[in-house]
Amino acid sequence: MSTQDGLQILQSAVVLLVAPLYAGVLARAEAIVQSKRGPSVLQPYRDLAKLLRKGSAISDQASWIFRGAPFVAFACYLTVSAIVPVITDEPLPLAFLADLIGGAFVLALASFSISLAALDCASPLGGLGSSRTTWIGSLAEPALILVFFTVGALSQSDNPYLENHALAHSGAAYVLPTHVLGAVAFFIIVLAENGRIPVDNPSGTIEISMIEESRVLEYSGREYALVKWGSWMKLFLLSSIFMNVFVIPWGLGNADSLLGGLQGIAALLGKLAVCGVGIVIIDSSFAKLRFFRIAEFLGASFLLALIGIATSYVIGK
Amino acid sequence: MIALVIALVVLPLVGAAAHLLGVRTHAAGLLSAAGGAGALGCALALAVLTTRNGPYRALSGFIYVDPLSAFFAITVAIVATLAGLGSIGYVQTEQERGELSPVQVKLYVVFFALFAALMLASLEAGNLGLLWVLVEASTLASAVLVALEARSSSFEAAWKYIIISSFGVTIALVGTLFLFYASSALALDATQRLSWAELFAHAHALQHDSLKLGFLLAVVGYGTKVGLAPMHTWLPDAHSEAPSPASAMLSGALLNTGMYAIIRFQAIAGVDLGRYTHRVLLVFGFTSIAIGALFMVRSTNFKRLFAYSSIEHMGIIAVALGFGGTLGYYGALLHTLNHAIGKCVLFLCSGEIVLRYRTRVATRVRGLLGSAPLLGVVLLLGSFAIVGSPPFGLFLSEFTIVRAGFASSGPAFAFLLLALLVLAFIAFMRTTADMTVGGSGSDAPAETPSMRVTSAFPLLAGLAMLLVLGVWIPGGLNDLIMHSIGAIT
Amino acid sequence: MQSLSASSIEGVLLDLSAVMMLLCAFACLGSKLFDRYVAYYALQSVVLSFAAAVVAIHLGSGALWALAALTLAVKGIAIPLATRRFLLHRLDLRRDVALSTGLSTSLILGAFLTVFAYLAIRPGTLPHALVASAVVPLSTAVILLGGLCMVVRRHTIAQLIGWLILENGVFLGAITLVATFPFIVEAGIFLDLVAAVLIMITFVSGLAQRLATAAAPDLRELRE
């Protein structure tokens, strides 16, 4: 097994193992900002351990779709973890699988399978949740594609690694309007895709206003553990793409040595801390939007990316 | 020379300064009018000196006086003097009736003087940036006059006026910017690159695309101030809501100041792009005449009627500039002077009518010849003068312009101009003839205050000047106009 | 005076500030609260003064430094404060309801205008731009958006802010296209701006006292 194969495994392992910690830290930090004590940062691991030990109750109306969906989703997230820059600055052996657009499709497949599962067991809340998520997704998708175009305008490719190199090697490219606008637009999408405030409240408890959570209300036990774990991985992945590709393109590890990988992990933890601060600030200073204003929020992302692309055309870069 | 240049701006302010120092309104008004007359003297002196000795430059081109500036300064000074005299009676009557508070009177006197001084100053500015600053400043001063009577409708008119004019003038700033940019290839420093004389001297070396854009934007921008259609929408409101002597200033002086700026830009752009500038001015000019004439047909408020007539006349001047050639420019300048005096007389007259009848609706004023013979005669003769009938000056200038049309662009445009003039004639006279000689339905005014000397004098003096200009152009004026044309071609 | 290309750091900073100003204009167009209008305008002016400072560094020009400082003091601080104090608070204005189009429609119109400005004025059409030519289309877009703001909003305050945004666009174009007017002229322009805003504020409060609202649709007395 070469060093690169080792790093490949290390990268996916990092995503798998650190994602719950990231979610736990976010929850704790938010609680502290709101003057509460909050759960321990290790709470997600405890939840996982408890859920994995439990058996699951599945409605007798549910079909194989309901059973299979968590595995499909989890596999999707694991796939993405192999192809995007998380700890190294050069593509790892499996990165040829997909570019940014391909990665987005895999993430969309995960969301789609969960939506199907929510419809499958015929619970009204599940239907409500999946229709809402699909609506938001359908608004976020065009904006996301435009964000990829801003990336393309800068690096002449849709490969996250090349974008990272283009930015890391030129201070001028870093403050280019195209890039700044694309980054802000992408951050909005990260918030929307992960169901954070102001799109959805991750700690909400009222079923009727939930979006993301109401899709998975029917799950329990092992399947629920997979779904939760998957959604933490999604947050972790999108945050690290956001940081590594858009905000702090420096500090990624050398892809030829394990030491480089370890250094990359250390840098990643620092970057995620920065991203987490941003998310916590937004979570605690904004209110959740009324449902139909979400379109305007995502429209802003679309507009930003569009202006970014048009500007790149004007500036010629 | 510099003393004259400064006196021209300072003299109109004397009355206002005296009023602020405690001189009573009536005396301050007389002093204001005297200041205007003094400014007129300065302008005449400048005219004589510049035609004899050539243009005067000072302060690295910030001050530049040539025969054209002197000509426009004379126009503005005449209007300022007449309107200044007319203000005395108007303000006093309004104050006695309690329509204007002492504070409002003070505001009126101060801003009236400021308005006149700023316009005169802008005519002496040789730097196009400074010209812009002063034109915008005169807009602001006049906006206060429009809002003076503090009714909701006058605030509304003032709001429209200030927001549309500021918008327009900002566009003129962009035009100035492009002109500045067009000169970037020249080896001049920043101050010289905005100086009109330098730009005019180097007009061949200017970059054409930016020059074209700059000229177009300047016409649109300053055209908003001139009231060229379709940027004219503020004009009828502001003219009808302002106190009548202030309307006279707006129509007789402010519009001309805007036109002056356009002429300056045209002079620069016309060196290489003559046909382009002519086309632009013809389009705006004919649109304005048509719009002015058509709206005159359905105007029931006589002050608005006069305002639409101003739009029409500004259109005529623009068309004359568009015809070009010595004849065209001659007609344009002569028409500027004639229109300024004629419209000044009409607005002052409308002020007296408003004071008597307390209405601005034309149908409620009937049989003026019977109830107030002097006003009736002035209104009738003034109307005949403004629509261009002989033997008044406007006939002569419109005739010159039509001749210029035949000479330069062929008969089509000239006939179009004639047709529109006929339409304007009918639309205008229909209303004013009824006001003066129409008998039925008359609301006789409740009170008939006797006319003050200070109010009657400007009316008669203005009419007399129009009459003189209609039959005889003094040799000095002819010289001045010919030298002005020499300065811009 | 050498020109700045998009790859030098000053050129990029200028581009960035121009885009930020464009975004402020869009934000203004997409909001409904008077407070926000003023805040976005203030932010835009601060960015403008930053852009002026960048050009000042590039050209080593003292006049431009003064201009940057003036912009910050007058447009970034004084005008927003005065508007807030004398209009918004005194008249208790919160939410603008006098819109002639919906927010999304005006945003879409704004996007079209931006694209139009980009297409109409490409950097290539300006043969020798003095500073950064890419800013010119952006400032044109800001000018158009300011105009759009004046058209689609019918409240007098929104029109005032629209005009100020337009003015900012002109200034952005001025500092980048021609670097500097003579300072006397610049100072005069500023003086006019301040006087205009003061007079407009007076008019708006005068109108508001007489009409209870100062929304332009209620200004219909002078129609024929």
Q: What is the DSSP string of C20-35?
A: HHHHHHHHHHT--BHH
Number of structural domains, chain C? 1
Contact A311 C12 (CB under 8 A): no
pLDDT at B323 over 90: yes
Contacts of A304 in chain C (CB under 8 A): 23
pLDDT at C53 over 80: yes
**Domain coordinates of chain A in residue numbers?**
3-315
Helices and strands, counts by H and E, chain B: 21, 2
pLDDT at C201 over 80: yes
Q: Which residue of A has its CA nearest to C116?
A: A310
- Centre a 10 Å sphere on the Cβ of residue B155 and count the other Cβ atoms it contains: 28
Chains C and A touch (3+ CB pairs under 8 A): yes
Span B329-335, mean pLDDT?
95
Say what the pLDDT of residue C106 is. 86
Say what the pLDDT of residue C1 is. 40
Contact C104 A296 (CB under 8 A): yes
Residue C141, phi then psi, degrees to nearest 5: -60, -40
Q: Which of B296, B294, B335, B344 is nearest to B314 (CA)?
A: B335
3-state secondary structure of B451: coil
Say what the pLDDT of residue A293 is. 82
Asked if residue B379 lies in contact with residue B345, where contact means CB atoms within 8 angstroms, the answer is: no
> pTM of the entire structure?
0.85
Contacts of C177 in chain B (CB under 8 A): 177, 181
Contacts of A316 in chain C (CB under 8 A): 6, 123, 134
Span C146-154, mean pLDDT?
90
Of C181, C203, C216, the CB nearest to B190: C181
Contacts of B174 in chain C (CB under 8 A): 143, 170, 173
What percent of chain C is modeled with pLDDT above 70?
84
Q: Which residue of C has its CA nearest to A315?
A: C134
| Confidence category of residue A297, pLDDT binned at 50, 70, 90 | confident
Looking at residue C108, its amino acid is I
ipTM of the complex model = 0.89
Q: Which of residues 135-174 of A touch C (CB under 8 A)?
A: 171-172
Helix (H) or strand (E) segment spanning residue B391: none
Residue C153 lies in a domain: yes
Contacts of C18 in chain A (CB under 8 A): 177
| Confidence category of residue C132, pLDDT binned at 50, 70, 90 | low
CA separation for the pair C140, B253 (Å, rounded)? 33
3-state secondary structure of B353: helix
Of C15, C26, C115, the CB nearest to A310: C115
Alpha-carbon torsion (B11, B15, B20, B22), positive or negative: positive
pLDDT at C180 over 70: no
Q: Counting one residue from B and one from C, how many pairs have CB atoms under 8 Å apart? A: 121
What does the pLDDT look like over B454-469, one tens digit per residue?
889 999 999 999 999 9
What percent of chain A is modeled with pLDDT above 70?
99
- Distance (Å) from the C-alpha of residue C165 to the closest C-alpha of chain B? 11
- Distance (Å) from the C-alpha of residue C160 to the closest C-alpha of chain A? 25
What does the pLDDT look like over A93-107, one tens digit per residue?
888 888 888 999 999
pLDDT at B233 over 80: yes
What does the pLDDT look like over A65-78, one tens digit per residue?
999 999 999 999 99
Question: Tokens in use for A44?
Answer: 């997600």
**E-only strand ranges, B13-158:** 56-58, 63-65
Q: How far is CA B288 from CA A265, B181, B224, C158, C199, in A?
A: 73, 30, 11, 29, 29
Looking at residue C178, its amino acid is V
CA separation for the pair B448, B367 (Å, rounded)? 14
Contacts of A183 in chain C (CB under 8 A): none
- One-letter-per-residue 3-state SS of B113-127: HHHHHHHHHHHHECE
Say what the pLDDT of residue B59 is. 85
CA separation for the pair B295, B145 (Å, rounded)? 25
Contact partners for chain C, using 3 or more CB pairs closer than 8 A, are A, B
What domain range includes position C60?
A: 9-211
Looking at residue C175, its amino acid is I
Q: Which residue of B has its CA nearest to C195?
A: B140
Q: Which of B262, B125, B121, B258 is nearest to B195 (CA)?
A: B125
Alpha-helix runs per DSSP H in chain C: 9-29, 34-59, 62-70, 79-82, 103-120, 135-152, 156-177, 183-211
Asked if residue C129 lies in contact with residue A314, where contact means CB atoms within 8 angstroms, the answer is: no
Residue C221 lies in a domain: no
pLDDT at C31 over 90: no
Contact B177 C170 (CB under 8 A): yes
Chains C and B touch (3+ CB pairs under 8 A): yes
- The residues near B117 (Cβ < 8 Å, ≥ 6 apart) are B9, B10, B12, B13
CA separation for the pair B438, A4 (Å, rounded)? 103
Contact C219 B191 (CB under 8 A): no
Say what the pLDDT of residue B445 is. 59
Say what the pLDDT of residue C2 is. 47
Q: Which residue of C has its CA nearest to B301?
A: C224
Contact C199 B162 (CB under 8 A): yes
CA separation for the pair B36, B77 (Å, rounded)? 6
Asked if residue B90 lies in contact with residue B130, where contact means CB atoms within 8 angstroms, the answer is: no
CA separation for the pair B304, B310 (Å, rounded)? 10
Say what the pLDDT of residue C11 is. 79
- Distance (Å) from the C-alpha of residue B237 to the closest C-alpha of chain C? 7
